[in-house]
């Protein structure tokens, strides 16, 4: 094996000295994220600019059997880019070009470091009639990382997970070969990640960088209507929420539905905010959709189970903003700079049970909680967040928050949910419950693609 | 200041601090230059917390990370947390701790030594402080304003030109003013931002005492950095006088018809100085001056006003130059952005911006396409047409 110093020299030759660091400060920062997973330092942080550089780095790492962890903004909060076995963290954010927008086929091709914020801004400026599904994560989250973790966003109620909106990939395999996935493998167009070909994108999406490094990604774009509004409904009856969500999605008129719950302010404790977003190109279209939404929920008004919140002018901007800064603000509820959530993907019928569990666990561990639920697809499932904020200066509170999260994850799994962006411990829980033949298949795929096990080791490791 | 010790762990490293309001690009100068997350505000705050907890040791690299922050306050504008207004104070607080421990980058140490020994960061002789002045009269009782030109205005070639232009315009307006000449001291803004609180206090006391002795009640500064510290830091340390940035005075004189710019012909874009804009909310006056000149077309860079991209000169970086050496240096990025507007003139209202951007325009090989001029120079050229 090459010495650390020789490896450093080789990396410098590939990307230049300004973009390789083995200094303590970078190793410290890239050893952790904003969540609760224990840190582990990389040996190097490297920032490639081109696909060719990524290939060279991968070939080097594969030859030397050095772990390699591709990283976007590191905002999953479940430690997915913490280098569990050291090695090289590849910070992809210098690969920041938006390469193509095809207006007529409605897709964009981006490099791996393009952020949600930059793409949003670019589309608003250059293609204002197109948009992408913006997640609630901060704008520095990358398009690629969000797809790799099967993120959701503002268009997930209509179009599924953000990874369902991928329309092609360019991937550096763990042995260094460059591979195109989807229509772009046979055509200059990036309109489909699979069909009508075998859909190989599943070899990379959801694998957390353990099967290759995505260097380019095609993403479907959708019509951006001229107007947008939010209607907020309130109920204190959790058991009604699943049917309400189904009725809302039945209208096929809504952009997005999010249900939030939090114990503060006190006047809203026990109340669920059902935030229903609609869009339109005219007042008439928007008004028609408002009426459809009202009609869908009318029976609940008549039974006085639901109320309508008139959104004041000062409340509206934060509710409408994409991404929502309130998501990050939750980290400061405990005045301590941390929050993490277990976000199981589950049938929406589980909403009442999950809410009860959240309140029970928060009381048990004395931690501050919140929850945001997003409808995914036409009622096909939901992402339910068991969110806990904590003070990073309070080790005891951090430990309690972790215990609360673990208990919620186990509960969600028992209830039939599947853990989203699972940390390495949750991955083990999932794999313990997984069909054995599925596990064997995963193992074969991993061994085939990454024979030396260099890619993000510790994650999705089938024993 | 020291409350940062008990508060700094509150950063969630969400990264909003890296952006302007519309998320169009990275707006943190040091992050944009170096691209490691450690050079973002979140990176700094997490590293400072690690240092306080003893999880990392002091190193020259750590100190450089801390001192490449230009204190431009973009992070304060963009951070969604309630503690956002305190972020720069936290960074300055950590620098102050480093200064007390004697652990600072050599270039910063040399900055302090120069100001301590010479009263300016350039190690220029005090007796040469008024070499730019070309007979400008000294402040005397009865003058309405003291014109405080600062270290860049006194010693830097670009700053001196700027100071002379301002003097010419003020003289033509009939306003009564004078300078301190070789009696002028460093304002201390950079010293404060770099964390040398003892030296800062000393400078404030010297300046305040001098102003008091001379009966100064109104100060006009050439430099937004001096304006900022005299307006926001001096009063708490006994410096009680009115302070204006020169663009405020010139704009007022134009409105009162005491300055009547004649025709010019230029397409101009304007660089908001951080210490004028984000620190003191002065965005309109410089633009109003430019718009008052017939024949000037004002065009905005994409990032402007509260979203303006810092030239990289703040926190003493116009001397320490910790952000230079690359096409990704903030000033070079900003020079390219200014050129992309189609402007033939990049207007500034700060001697630090003037020298940073003048150098950057040369480095970008744009010096025959884009002139960097201070607003008083633009006004003077229009004035004498």
Domain's final residue, options A44, A69, A92: A92
Q: Do B24 and A125 touch (CB under 8 A)?
A: yes
* Strand stretches in chain B, DSSP E: 145-148, 177-179, 218-221, 242-245, 266-270, 296-299, 345-348, 371-374
Q: What is the mean pLDDT of residues B151-175?
A: 96
For chain A, say whether B38 makes contact (Cβ under 8 Å): yes
Asked if the domains B4-104 and B260-383 are classified in one and the same CATH topology, the answer is no
**Interatomic CA distance for residues A239 and A436, integer angstroms:** 35
Q: Is B31 on the interface with A (CB under 8 A)?
A: no
Q: Are residues A62 and A98 in the same domain?
A: no
The verdict on a CB contact (< 8 Å) between A139 and B34 is no
With a cut of 50, say whether residue A417 has pLDDT above it: yes
Q: What is the mean pLDDT of residues B10-36?
A: 97
Q: Give the best residue of B15, B79, B303 to mutate against chain A (max A CB count within 10 A).
A: B15
B122 touches chain A (CB under 8 A): no
Contact A139 B10 (CB under 8 A): no
Q: Are the CB atoms for B187 and B222 separated by under 8 Å?
A: no
Q: Which residues on A lie below 8 Å from B81 (Cβ)?
A: 328-329, 331-332
Question: In B132-144, which positions are buried (b, 16+ CB within 10 angstroms) versus exposed (e)?
Answer: bbeebeebeeebe
- Distance (Å, rounded) from C-alpha A242 to C-alpha B206? 71
What is the mean predicted confidence (pLDDT) over B68-84?
Answer: 97
Question: pLDDT at position A152, please?
Answer: 96
Q: According to the model, what pLDDT value does residue B384 have?
A: 52
Record the tokens describing residue B146, joined without a space. 């003291």
Tell me the pLDDT tens digit for each residue of A263-306.
877 777 889 999 999 999 999 999 999 999 999 999 999 999 99
Domain co-membership, A200 together with A127: yes
CA distance A435 to A430: 10
The predicted pLDDT at position A334 comes to 83
Task: Establish if A69 belongs to a structural domain.
Answer: yes
Task: Give A166 to chain B, closest Cα distance, Å.
Answer: 22
Give phi and psi for B344, each to the nearest 5: -100, -10
Helical spans, DSSP H, in A168-224? none
**C-alpha Rg value of chain A to the nearest Å:** 22
Q: Is the pLDDT of residue B298 over 80?
A: yes
Å from A230 to nearest chain B CA? 21
- Asked whether residue A217 falls in the same domain as residue A323, the answer is no
Whole-number Å distance between alpha carbons of B66 and B39: 8
The interface predicted TM-score of the complex, written ipTM, equals 0.96
Distance from CA of A168 to the nearest CA of B (A): 24
Domain check: are A137 and A277 in the same one?
no
> Is B235 in the A-facing interface, judged by CB distances under 8 Å?
no
Concatenating the DSSP letter of every residue in B181-201 gives: GGG-----HHHHHTT-HHHHH
Give the position of tokens 């404060």.
Answer: B192
Q: Are A212 and A455 in contact (CB under 8 A)?
A: yes
What is the count of structural domains for chain A?
Answer: 3
* Per-residue exposure over A2-37, b if at least 16 CB sit within 10 Å of its own CB, e if not: eeeeebbebbeebbeeebbbbbbbbbbbbbbbbbbb
The residues, any chain, with a CB within 8 Å of residue A12's CB and separated by 6 or more, are A20
Give the residue from chain B lying closest to A338, CA to CA: B12
Average pLDDT score over residue span A412-430: 97
Q: Which of residues 68-107 of B touch A (CB under 8 A)?
A: 80-83
Q: Which residues does B250 contact at the CB level (< 8 Å), separation at least 6?
A: B169, B173, B259, B285, B289, B375, B376, B379
CB contact under 8 A, B38 and A29: yes
CATH of region B4-104, choose from 1.10.287, 2.30.29, 1.10.1060, 3.40.140: 1.10.1060
The answer to whether residue A56 sits within a structural domain is yes
Whether A302 maps to a domain, the answer reads: yes
| B-chain residue closest to A335, CA distance | B10
Query: Which of A370, A397, A414 represents a domain boundary (last residue)?
Result: A414
Domain boundaries, position A205: 94-223
Q: In Å, how far is B77's CA from the nearest CA of chain A?
A: 13
- Specify whether A180 is located in the same domain as A233: no
B188-237: pLDDT as tens digits? 999 999 999 999 999 999 999 999 999 999 999 999 999 999 999 999 99
CA A147 to chain CA centroid, Å, is 7
Residue A56 pLDDT class (50, 70, 90 cuts): very high
* Residue A326 scores a pLDDT above 90: no
Do B65 and A25 lie within an 8 Å CB cutoff? yes
E strand or H helix that includes residue B109: helix B106-118
The predicted model scores a pTM of 0.96
Q: Rounded CA gap, A209 and A449, in Å?
A: 12
- Taking CA–CA distances from B53, the nearest residue in chain A reads A393
| Tens-place pLDDT, residues A200-232 | 999 999 999 999 999 999 999 999 999 999 999
- pLDDT score, position B263: 84
A124 contacts B10? CB cut-off 8 A: no
Task: Please name the member of A91, A325, A332 whose beta carbon is closest to the beta carbon of B16.
Answer: A325
What sign for the dihedral angle of Cα B271, B275, B276, B281?
Answer: positive
Do A254 and A189 share a structural domain?
Answer: no
List chain A residues with CB under 8 Å of B94: none
- CB contacts, 8 Å: A42 with chain B: none
Share of chain A above pLDDT 90, in %: 94
Q: pLDDT band at B385, cuts 50/70/90?
A: very low
How many Å lie between the alpha carbon of A459 and the closest alpha carbon of chain B? 23
Is pLDDT of A396 > 70? yes
Q: Which of B16, B50, B57 sits opposite A328 (nearest CB)?
A: B16
Looking at the fold, whether A400 and A324 belong to one and the same domain comes out as yes
Q: How confident is the model at residue B2 (pLDDT cuts 50, 70, 90)?
A: low
What's phi and psi for A18, nearest 5 deg?
-70, -15
What is the least distance, in Å, from the CA of B81 to any CA of chain A? 6
Are the C-beta atoms of B191 and B199 separated by less than 8 Å? yes
pLDDT level of residue B84 (50, 70, 90 thresholds): very high
Q: Which of A102, A110, A93, A99 is nearest to A162 (CA)?
A: A110
Q: B48-51 long-range contacts, Cβ below 8 Å, gap at least 24?
A: B48/B4, B48/B8, B48/B90, B48/B91, B48/B94, B49/A392, B49/B8, B49/B9, B49/B11, B50/A28, B51/B94
Question: Out of B36, B50, B80, whose CB is closest to A26?
Answer: B36
CB neighbourhood size of B150 (10 A): 26
Q: Does the CB of B13 have a partner CB in chain A at under 8 Å? A: yes
Label the pairing between strands B345-348 and B266-270: parallel
Question: A72 lies in a domain?
Answer: yes
Count the helices and strands in chain B (H runs, E runs): 18, 8
A157 pLDDT above the threshold of 70: yes
A157 lies in the same domain as A199: yes
- Residue B34 C-beta-side C-alpha neighbours within 13 Å: 26
| pLDDT band at residue A1 under the 50/70/90 scheme | low
Q: Both A297 and A391 in a single domain?
A: yes
Least Cα distance to B306 among B341, B336, B281 occurs for B281
Contact of A140 with B19, CB cutoff 8 Å: yes
Contact B22 A121 (CB under 8 A): yes
Report pLDDT digits (tens) over A240-255.
999 999 999 999 999 9
For the domain made up of B120-251, the CATH class stated in words is alpha beta
| Mean pLDDT for the stretch of residues A412-424 | 97
Look at residue A299 and tell me if it is in a domain. yes
In a shared domain, residues A198 and A112: yes
When pLDDT is averaged across residues B140-155 and rounded to a whole number, the result is 97
Residues from chain A contacting residue B57 (CB–CB below 8 Å):
24
Task: Pick A29's closest partner by Cβ from B43, B80, B83.
Answer: B43
Judged by DSSP in three states, A376 sits in strand
Residues A268, A370 contacting (CB under 8 angstroms):
no
- Are residues A326 and A183 part of one domain? no
A34 vs B13: CB contact, 8 Å cut-off? Answer: yes
Measured between CA atoms, how close is B129 to chain A, in angstroms? 39
Residue A195, domain CATH: 3.30.465.10
On whether both A202 and A256 belong to a single domain, the answer is: no
B60 touches chain A (CB under 8 A): no
Nearest-by-Cβ selection for A25 from B10, B12, B61 = B61
Distance, CA of A69 to CA of A30 (rounded, Å): 11
The residues spanned by each domain of chain B are 4-104, 120-251, 260-383
Is A42:A87 a contact under the CB 8 Å cutoff? yes
- Chosen domain end from A92, A118, A137: A92
pLDDT given for residue B354 in this prediction: 98
Q: Which of A145, A201, A128 is nearest to A168 (CA)?
A: A201
The Cα of A137 is separated from the nearest Cα of chain B by a number of Å equal to 8
Separation of alpha carbons B383 and B260, rounded Å: 7
| B279 contacts B85 by C-beta, under 8 angstroms | no
Q: How far apart are CA A228 and CA A234, in angstroms?
A: 20
Fold of the CATH domain B260-383? Rossmann fold (3.40.50)
């Amino acid at each position: 094996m090459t010495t650390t110093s020789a490896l450093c020299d080789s990396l410098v030759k590939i990307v230049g000295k300004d973009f390789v660091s083995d200094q303590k400060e970078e190793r410290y920062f890239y050893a952790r994220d904003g969540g609760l997973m224990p840190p582990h330092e990389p040996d190097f942080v490297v920032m490639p600019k081109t696909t060719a550089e990524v290939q060279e780095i991968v070939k080097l790492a594969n030859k030397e059997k050095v772990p390699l962890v591709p990283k976007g903004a590191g905002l999953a909060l479940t430690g997915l880019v913490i280098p569990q076995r050291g090695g090289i963290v590849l910070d992809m954010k210098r690969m920041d070009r938006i390469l193509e927008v095809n207006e007529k086929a409605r897709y964009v091709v981006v490099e791996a470091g393009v952020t949600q914020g930059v793409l949003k801004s670019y589309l608003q400026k250059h293609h204002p009639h197109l948009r992408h599904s913006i997640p609630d994560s901060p704008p520095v989250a990358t398009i690629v990382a969000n797809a790799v973790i099967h993120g959701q966003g503002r268009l997930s109620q209509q179009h599924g997970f953000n990874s369902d909106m991928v329309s092609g990939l360019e991937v550096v395999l763990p042995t260094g070969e460059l591979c195109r996935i989807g229509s772009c493998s046979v055509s200059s167009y990036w309109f489909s990640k699979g069909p009508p070909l075998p859909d190989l994108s599943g070899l990379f999406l959801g694998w957390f960088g353990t099967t290759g490094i995505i260097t380019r990604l095609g993403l479907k774009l959708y019509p951006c209507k001229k107007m947008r509004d939010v209607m907020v409904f309130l109920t204190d009856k959790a058991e009604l929420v699943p049917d309400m969500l189904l009725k809302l999605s039945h209208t096929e008129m809504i952009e997005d539905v999010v249900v939030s719950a939090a114990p503060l302010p006190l006047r809203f404790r026990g109340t669920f905010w059902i935030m229903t977003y609609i869009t339109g190109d005219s007042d008439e279209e928007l008004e028609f959709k408002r009426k459809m939404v009202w009609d869908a929920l009318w029976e609940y008004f008549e039974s006085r189970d639901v109320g309508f919140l008139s959104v004041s002018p000062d409340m509206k901007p934060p509710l409408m903003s994409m991404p929502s800064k309130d998501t990050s603000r939750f980290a400061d509820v405990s005045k301590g700079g941390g929050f993490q959530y277990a976000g199981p993907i589950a049938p929406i019928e589980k909403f009442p049970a999950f809410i009860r569990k959240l309140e029970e666990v928060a009381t048990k561990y004395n931690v501050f909680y919140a929850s945001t639920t997003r409808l995914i697809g036409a009622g096909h499932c939901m992402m339910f967040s068991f969110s806990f904020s904590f003070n990073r200066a309070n080790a005891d509170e951090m430990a309690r928050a972790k215990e609360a999260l673990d208990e919620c994850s186990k509960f969600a799994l028992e209830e039939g949910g599947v853990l989203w962006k699972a940390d390495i411990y949750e991955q083990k829980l999932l794999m313990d419950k997984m069909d054995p033949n599925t596990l064997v298949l995963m193992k074969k795929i991993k061994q085939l693609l990454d024979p030396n096990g260099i890619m993000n080791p510790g994650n999705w490791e089938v024993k | 200041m020291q409350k940062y010790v008990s508060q700094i762990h509150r950063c969630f490293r969400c990264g909003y601090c890296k952006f302007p309001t519309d998320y169009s690009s990275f707006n943190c100068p040091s992050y944009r230059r170096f691209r490691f997350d450690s050079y973002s505000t979140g990176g700094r705050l997490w590293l400072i917390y690690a240092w306080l907890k003893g999880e990392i040791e002091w190193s020259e690299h750590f100190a450089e990370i801390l001192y490449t922050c230009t204190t431009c306050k973009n992070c304060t504008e963009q951070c969604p947390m309630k503690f956002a207004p305190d972020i720069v104070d936290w960074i300055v607080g950590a620098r102050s701790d480093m200064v007390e421990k004697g652990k600072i980058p050599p270039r910063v140490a040399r900055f302090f030594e120069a100001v301590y020994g010479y009263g300016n960061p350039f190690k220029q002789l005090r007796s040469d402080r008024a070499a730019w002045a070309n007979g400008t009269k000294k402040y005397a009782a009865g003058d309405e304003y003291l014109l405080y030109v600062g270290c860049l205005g006194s010693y830097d070639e670009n700053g001196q030109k700027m100071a002379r232009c301002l003097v010419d315009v003020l003289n033509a307006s009939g306003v009564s003013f004078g300078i301190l000449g070789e009696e002028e001291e460093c304002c201390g803004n950079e010293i404060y931002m770099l964390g040398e609180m003892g030296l800062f206090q000393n400078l404030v006391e010297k300046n305040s005492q001098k102003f008091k002795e001379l009966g100064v009640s109104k100060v006009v500064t050439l430099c937004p950095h001096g304006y900022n510290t005299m307006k926001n830091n001096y009063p708490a340390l006994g410096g009680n006088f009115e302070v204006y940035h020169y663009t405020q005075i010139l704009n007022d004189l134009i409105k009162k018809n005491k300055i009547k710019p004649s025709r010019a012909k230029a397409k101009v874009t304007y660089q908001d100085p951080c210490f004028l804009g984000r620190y003191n909310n002065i965005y309109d006056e410089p633009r109003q001056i430019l718009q008052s000149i017939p024949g000037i077309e004002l065009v905005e860079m994409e990032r402007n006003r509260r979203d303006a991209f810092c030239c990289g000169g703040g926190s003493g970086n116009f001397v320490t130059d910790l952000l230079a050496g690359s096409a990704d240096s903030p000033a070079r990025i900003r020079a390219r952005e200014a050129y992309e507007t189609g402007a033939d003139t990049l207007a500034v209202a700060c001697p630090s911006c003037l020298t940073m951007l003048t150098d950057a325009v040369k480095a970008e090989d744009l010096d025959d396409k884009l002139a960097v001029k201070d607003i008083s120079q633009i006004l003077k050229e229009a004035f004498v047409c």
